[in-house]
Structure 1
């Protein structure tokens, strides 16, 4: 059980820590709305990681085979959505540079933020490939209790890191209180999202 827990924690942090589009979205969400909404979005991403960890633990090899034909279209879809989010954020920041950051979150509620980031994270099929590869590499039969420990540990690791990102975003939102600071934050964050989306699209070619 201890080995499964350690494997789950390593896997969860391994998939969560690298800076990607989801990380930037979580930070921006907290900075431009509220910590509560940012944490909800963070948990949406962590839930998706947990779902993929569960699927990988139950039928990793079979799901890799099943997802292989649709992996590239799913990556393209995820990249396109990120581009649209980034472009929309840049346009909104340029049109309304003086709007208070706490009021400029597209009216996002915590539940909506949770569902949006959950759905967007689920569009990345490489996550299940990652978890499945880690499980299959151990060349052991995973009993249900062992698989459950792995999945819970992976979710806990991802959730804790996403929460740190949300907290960081909330701090940024409080520090950059001037209109110029908010504008620069919006342009930098959304610009980075667009760059990451283009990289994702190119890697799927």
Structure 2
């Protein structure tokens, strides 16, 4: 069971670490309003990541028996998806940041509005559920142990996402500039790419 939680934890950090528009938005909210508002936005991101992880875990458990005869090829395909995501994340690290990313959106000046608004924005990214689905289906042990393992996987993903986003919200202006500057953005994206690639290699080793 601990393995499922750790798998979710690593997966959660893999998808949460890249500093993009949502992270910059959370940072801007904290600087412009208060840590409470930024933290509410951070929990909105973590909730979305947890929901996507839950969808992937439930779907993975539902089809685990059906795909058992082709588990080997499926894991290779899942690893290929993860490697593609890792390559895409690394490629995006080399792109210049859009000038509009640093602008804080108005209308999110209360914790409730920040939570709801950033939750909705994060849910608009379907690539997250593809990422978690590839992990769940690639790692059969994450779903074979039943519902409790799926719950622990989702919990691990939520804890990882929440801890990273809360770090951004509470990091202060100095840390925020370091993370969202060109070097920080590149470093966090490449770190995430390495984590996702390592997860893909783990899946391949299990085939």
Q: Give the 5 Å matches for 1:148-187.
A: 148-168=151-171, 171-172=172-173
Task: Quote the Cα distance in structure 2 between the aligned partners of 1:87 and 1:27.
Answer: 11
Tell me the alpha carbon deviations over residues 55-86 of structure 1, each in whole angstroms, 9 at most, x when there is no partner.
000014989xxxxxxxxxxxxxxxxxxx8xx4
Per the alignment, residue 198 of structure 1 pairs with: none
Task: Quote the Cα distance in structure 2 between the aligned partners of 1:87 and 1:2.
Answer: 38
Task: Quote the Cα distance in structure 1 between the aligned partners of 2:120 and 2:30.
Answer: 18
Per the alignment, residue 135 of structure 1 pairs with: 136
* Structure 2 unmatched ranges of 5 or more: 64-97, 186-207
How many pairs align?
A: 143
Task: Quote the Cα distance in structure 1 between the aligned partners of 2:139 and 2:15.
Answer: 18
Task: Quote the Cα distance in structure 2 between the aligned partners of 1:147 and 1:35.
Answer: 32
Tell me the alpha carbon deviations over residues 79-104 of structure 1, each in whole angstroms, 9 at most, x when there is no partner.
xxxx8xx48948x9xxxxxxxxxxxx
Larger CA deviation: 22-31 vs 136-145: 136-145
Per the alignment, residue 46 of structure 1 pairs with: 46
TM-score (structure 1 length as normaliser): 0.62
Per-residue deviation, 1:150: 0.5
Q: Give the 5 Å matches for 1:58-77.
A: 58-60=58-60
Task: Quote the Cα distance in structure 2 between the aligned partners of 1:124 and 1:107.
Answer: 20
Per the alignment, residue 37 of structure 1 pairs with: 37
**8 A contact 2:108–2:114 mirrored in 1:** no
Task: Give the direction of change, closer, same or farther, for the CA distance of 1:126–1:3 in structure 2 (3 Å limit).
Answer: same
**8 A contact 1:23–1:165 mirrored in 2:** yes
Per-residue deviation, 1:139: 2.7
Per the alignment, residue 117 of structure 1 pairs with: 118
Per-residue deviation, 1:28: 1.0
CA RMSD, 1 decimal: 3.2
Per-residue deviation, 1:50: 0.4
